[in-house]
Amino acid sequence: MEAVFSDFGEYAKAFGLTCGLFLVAGLGSLVWGTFLAALRVGPVAVMRKASAAYVGVFRNTPLLVVFIFVAVALPKIGYSFTFIENVDVGGHHVSGYFFRACVALTLYTSAFVCEAVRSGINAVPLGQAEAARSIGLTFTQTMQEVVLPQAVRAVVPPLTSVLVALLKNTSVAAAFGIAEATAQMKSMNNDHADQRIQIFLLFAVGYIVLVEVLTFSSYALERRWRVA
């Protein structure tokens, strides 16, 4: 216990990094994944196939192998994204390690975001759109008033589980030089062999709290958007 509490700053900093990875990669994969989903449900066959191929490749590759690609193989051929180290965020410099981890997490998670968004759109019954068209709504009106509001509601539960998985997957960054929570637990385990179980439980609780925050905000969103 006191191994963590005496070093609580390190514990908090490690979970701060976990949250940072989650926020940057989450935002990135929401944007990129939604774009892929748009291609996936669009009318152009080539775009649909390209997006499906992307999803197929990244969904079946382990995240760790994606990390090897981005953090080990790409720097080898000259793409180490070190330009990011010149960027200044509130007096802190972003490390190349952090950025590469975010790229890997984004590439991987966006495949799952794409599937979640697509399943949300598929959840809207065809009759809804047909009814909207037959009462004379334009394309924009059909989308804004009928299809998208239902699709967005249907997308919240699967998207939440994707984001929860992303939060847990940030732990893989530990293997590639980032001192986030899992790496921090490993180093504390090295230093305090007698308190392993307590250290593990405290780090597990940290993750559980973050996961529950996510899950409960999704429930709140669902409740708020519920129709009748």
Partner 1 sequence: MSATVLYDAPGPRTVRRHRIYAGVTALALVGLAVLVLWKLNSAGQLAYAQWEVFLTPDYVRVILLDGLLKTLEMAFFAIVFAVVFGVVFGTAKLSEHWWIRSPAWLVVEFFRAVPVLLLMVFVFYLLSVGDGPLSKFWCVVVALTVYNGAVLAEVFRAGVNAVPHGQVEAAYALGLRKGQVMTTIQLPQAVRIMLPSIVSQCVVALKDTSLGYYIVAPGLTAVGKQIYLEFFNQVPTAIVLAALYITCNLLLTALATWLQRRYVGERNPVDTSRVGNMDGGRAV
* Structural Rg of the chain based on CA atoms: 21
Q: Which is nearer to partner 1, 82 or 87 (CB)?
A: 82
- Give 56-107 as a DSSP string: HHHHHS-HHHHHIIIIIIHHHTT---GGGGG-EETTEEPPHHHHHHHHHHHH
The token pair that represents 187 in the structure block: 């180093």
Say whether residue 221 binds partner 1 (CB under 8 A).
Answer: no
CB contact at 8 A, 210 and 23: no
Q: How many residues bind partner 1 (CB under 8 A)?
A: 73
Binding test (CB under 8 A) with partner 1, winner from 9, 78, 91, 136: 78
Binding mask 104-133 for partner 1 (x = CB under 8 A): -----x--xxxxx-xx-xx-xxx-xx---x
Separation between Cα atoms, residue 26 and residue 34, nearest integer Å = 12
Say whether residue 174 binds partner 1 (CB under 8 A).
Answer: yes
Binding test (CB under 8 A) with partner 1, winner from 35, 52, 69, 80: 69
Binding test (CB under 8 A) with partner 1, winner from 204, 213, 217, 219: 204
Say whether residue 23 binds partner 1 (CB under 8 A).
Answer: no
Identify which range of 24-32, 83-91, 182-190, 220-228 contacts partner 1 by CB under 8 A.
182-190
| Nearest of 204, 171, 187 to residue 63 by alpha carbon | 171
Say whether residue 181 binds partner 1 (CB under 8 A).
Answer: yes
Say whether residue 139 binds partner 1 (CB under 8 A).
Answer: yes
Distance, CA of 136 to chain centre:
39
Say whether residue 144 binds partner 1 (CB under 8 A).
Answer: no
Q: Which is nearer to partner 1, 19 or 50 (CB)?
A: 50
CB contact at 8 A, 133 and 147: no
